Amino acid sequence: MKLNIEGLLVYFPYDYIYPEQYSYMLELKRTLDAKGHGVLEMPSGTGKTISLLSLIVAYQRAFPLEVTKLIYCSRTVPEIEKVVEELRKLMEFYTKETGESNNFLALALSSRKNLCIHPEILHANIVVYSYHYLLDPKIADLVSKELAKKSVVVFDEAHNIDNVCIDSMSVNITRRTLDRCQTNVDTLQNTIHKIKETDAAKLREEYRRLVEGLKEANVARETDIYLANPVLPDEILQEAVPGSIRTAEHFVGFMRRFLEYLKSRLRVQHVVQESAPQFLKDIFEKVCIDRKPLRFCAERLQSLLRTLEIADIADFSAVTLISNFATLVSTYSQGFTIIIEPFEDRTPTIANPVLHFSCMDPSIAIKPVFQRFQSVVITSGTLSPLDIYPRILDFRPVTMASFTMTLARTCLCPLIVGRGNDQVALSSKFETREDFAVIRNYGNLLLEMSAIVPDGIVAFFTSYVYMENIVASWYEQGILENIQRNKLIFIETQDAAETSMALEKYQEACENGRGAILLSVARGKVSEGIDFVHHYGRAVIMFGVPYVYTQSRILKARLEYLRDQFQIRENDFLTFDAMRHAAQCVGRAIRGKTDYGLMIFADKRYARADKRGKLPRWIQEHINDGSLNLTVDEAVQLSKHFLRQMAQPFRQEDQLGLSLLTLEQLESEEMLQKITQIAHQT
C-alpha cells in the first residue's frame, strides 16, 4: 500500500498495516525532519524493521539532499540478513509499483572477512552492518570513517548498546599478551634492521612524514570529512609526533620499555585498582615515560607497520593491543579504570595476573557517531526505561516514544509466580538460592508447566552456574525424570557448537509434536540471538531476576562512575540491567500478533513496582493485579485457561479494524485519533 505520512509518500510492501507501524513511522519522520536523534521502543514482531526501511527509503527518495544514506546497524548476523531480506522485499515492491527498476544501492557486511569494500560503502544508499563497524574504533576507522554526515544511523536491537560501546574501548592484558607482544617487538626490530640495509630511504621518508605530523587527519576532521576516532584525541592532531618515538628504532625501544613496565605491573600479589592519571604518574616515576609519546603510540605503530609493508597485521595484534592501550590510557583521564588482579577469585592458588583497562563510560565510544551524523535512531523491542539511554549515552534526543502492541486478542500472558504451593517464597536472591525448598518449588513449576503447555517451553536461569546447580539438584530429586515423561529436555552448555545442536534438536522435537524444554541462561547467546516463534516457545519461564554478577570489581567501578557522573543510583542501574535482560528473555516467545505465549516471571521480586515498572510498556500493561503473586497452582490454572483460549482459530478478519488495518480503515478520522494514543511519549 501507499501511505501518506504527514505528506510523505511511503511505499509499504504489504496489503495491511498495524496501527503501531503507522505511529512508529510518524515519530520516525518527525525525528528526521528535526535532524535530531530518537529513542523508539516498539514490541518485537510488530514489523519494526520494515517500517523503518519503508520510511527512510521514502524519505531518501523525497529529499535526496537532506538524507543521503541509511546506515542500519544490527547485532547478529541473522538479524543483518533479515534486514537485507526485508529490504529486498521493499525494493521489489518499488519496482512493481513504479514500474521502473530503482537505482538504489544497498550493501550488507556480515562478516569481517570482507573488509575491502571501502569505496562501495561510500556510494551505497543503504549500508547494513554490525554495530562494531561504527562503534569499534579499530574497525570504524577502516570501514566507516568517510561515511557522509547526512546519513541516518539506526541502531536496531539497541538495548545492549552501552555494553557494546564499553567493550569496544576496553583492553585486557595478560602475561600471554605481553609475551606475544615481546615477540612482535623483536620481529619489528629485525625487519627494521633489514630495511635499513636495503631501503633506508623508506624509513627516512616515514620520518619526514611524522615531522609533518598528523596534519592530514586534522584537516580531515576539521573539514568534517571523517568520522572521528575516539582513540585519536583532537589535541594530538595539531602536534607533531614527539621526537622520542619518531625514528623507527627509537619507537621500538620505547615500546620495549613500556612492555617491561607492564610486566613489572603484572607481578603483583594483591589486587590493585587505580585511575588513568595514577597509572601515568607511576609510569613516569618508575621508567620515565611521559604522557605525550604514549598518546601517539597507536598512530606511530600504524605508520611503522605501513612503512614496513607488513601484510599480515593479525600477527601483530598483541603489539597493536598494547599501543592502543597506551594511547587510550594517556588520552582519557576519566571514564576508565585500571584493575590488576593477580589471580581469579575462584582459584586463588593459580597465578594468572590480568590487567583490566575498563571503559566505564559508553558515551566515549558513541560520541563521534552522535556528533557526526544528523540523525541517530536507537530502537528495540525492549528499551525501558527509555530515559536511561540518553543519560548513559550522553545525548539529547528529539523524540522518545514507546509503542504498545495493539491486539485483537491478548496473545501474551505475563504471570508473576511468587510462591510455591507450600507458600514458600520463590526467589533467586543470594540468601535463598541454595534453599532446597526454593529449588524444589522451581522444579515443580517447570514440571507442572511441562504437563499443560503444548510443544516448546524455554526456561531461563540467571547464570550458568546457577543453572548447573539447579539442574543437578533436580536430577537428584528425580524432578527431571518426571519432566521427561512430558517433554524432552535440552540444556544450553558453554560450548556454542554443542548448544547449537541442542537447539536444533529442541526445534525438531517441537516440530514433530513430541514437545521439548530448553533450559537456558539469561545474557547467554540463546537469550540474545534466538527467537522462539509460535510452537517453538509457547511459554518462557524466567527463574529468578537476572542480576549481573555484582562481585566483579569492574562492575563495581562502573557503578561508582555512573553514580558520580550521571547521578544514577547503583540499584537503579542494576535493576534496569536485570529487567532489560529479563524482558529480552520473555520477549523471545512473542514474535508477532498471530503468535502467543506465556511469560512466567518466577520470582516474588518481580511483583514490586520498581521491578515491574522497568519492563517494557507492552508487557507491563498486561500484568494485572491478579497475576502479581501467584502460587504455582494458580499460575497453572491461569495458564490452562489462556492456552485454551489461544488455541481457538484466529483469522485475519478477527484482527481487521482493530490491530490490522486496510488503507481505508487507516485513513478514517477515528482511527487516526486512536493511533495518536499508541505512541507513549516520555
Partner 1 sequence: LHFIVPMTSLSEEVLLVVKKVRQKKQDGTLYLMAERIAWGPEGKDRFTVSHLYADIRCQKISPDGKAKVQLQLVLHTGESTTFHFANESTALKDREAAKELLQQLLPKFKKKANKELEEKNRMLQEDPVLFQLYKDLVVSQVISAEEFWANRLGGINNTDPSPYNNKQEVGISGAFLADIRPQTDGCNGLRYNLTADIIESIFRTYPAVKQKYSENVPHNLTEKEFWTRFFQSHYFHRDRINTGTQDIFSECAKQDEKGLKTLVTQGVKNPLVDLQSLEDKTLDEGYGICTTQPSTSNANKSVKDSSNSAIIKRFNHHSAMVLAAGSRRGELASDQASETSSTDGNSRDSDFFQPPVKKVKLQEAIEFEDLQRENRPKTVPLNLKKSDRYAHGPVPLQSQQYTTSQDIINSVNYIRHEMASYKPSLTQVLSSTAATSAIAALSPGGVLMQGGAQQAINQMVPTEVQGELKHLYVAAGELLRHFWSCFPVNTLFLEEKVIKMKSNLERFQMTKLHPFKEKIQRQYLSTNLTGHLEEMLQTAYSKFQVWQTRRMMRKT
| Minimum separation from the CB atom of position 667 to partner 1 (A) | 17
| Minimum separation from the CB atom of position 259 to partner 1 (A) | 14
CB 97 within 8 A of CB 11: yes
Q: Which is nearer to partner 1, 31 or 520 (CB)?
A: 520
Q: Which is nearer to partner 1, 555 or 678 (CB)?
A: 555
Q: Which is nearer to partner 1, 14 or 104 (CB)?
A: 14
| Minimum separation from the CB atom of position 212 to partner 1 (A) | 30
For 336, the 3-state DSSP assignment is strand
Q: Which is nearer to partner 1, 54 or 374 (CB)?
A: 54
| Minimum separation from the CB atom of position 476 to partner 1 (A) | 9
Written as nine digits, the cell of 177 is 599478551
Q: Which is nearer to partner 1, 213 or 529 (CB)?
A: 529
Q: Which is nearer to partner 1, 94 or 490 (CB)?
A: 490
Q: Which is nearer to partner 1, 34 or 488 (CB)?
A: 488
Residue whose C-alpha is closest to residue 53's, from 76, 6, 85: 85
Sequence-ordered list of residues with C-beta below 8 angstroms from that of 359, at least 6 positions apart, any chain: 165, 166, 169, 170, 335, 336, 365
Peptide bond into 649 cis (omega under 30): no
CB 337 within 8 A of CB 562: no
| Minimum separation from the CB atom of position 19 to partner 1 (A) | 12
Amino acid sitting at position 568: I
| Minimum separation from the CB atom of position 606 to partner 1 (A) | 23
CB 364 within 8 A of CB 332: yes
Residue 151 to residue 224: CA distance in whole angstroms: 13
CB 539 within 8 A of CB 458: yes
The DSSP string of 622-673 is T--GGGSSEEHHHHHHHHHHHHHHHTS---HHHHBTTTBB-HHHHHSHHHHH
- Look up residue 410 and give its DSSP letter: -
362-372 and 161-169 helices cross at what angle (nearest 10)?
110
Q: Which is nearer to partner 1, 276 or 417 (CB)?
A: 276
Q: Which is nearer to partner 1, 447 or 672 (CB)?
A: 447
Number of neighbours of residue 345 by Cβ within 10 angstroms: 10
CB 128 within 8 A of CB 83: yes
Q: Which is nearer to partner 1, 54 or 627 (CB)?
A: 54
Residue 501 to residue 522: CA distance in whole angstroms: 19
Task: Look at strands 597-602 and 539-543 and give their pairing.
Answer: parallel
Q: Which is nearer to partner 1, 122 or 501 (CB)?
A: 501
| Minimum separation from the CB atom of position 203 to partner 1 (A) | 28
| Minimum separation from the CB atom of position 600 to partner 1 (A) | 21
| Minimum separation from the CB atom of position 363 to partner 1 (A) | 16
What own/partner pairs with CB < 8 Å and gap ≥ 24 does 407-410 have? Answer: 407/593, 407/658, 407/659, 408/593, 408/650, 408/654, 408/655, 408/658, 408/659, 408/660, 409/645, 409/646, 409/650, 409/654, 410/622
| Minimum separation from the CB atom of position 384 to partner 1 (A) | 22
| Minimum separation from the CB atom of position 130 to partner 1 (A) | 4
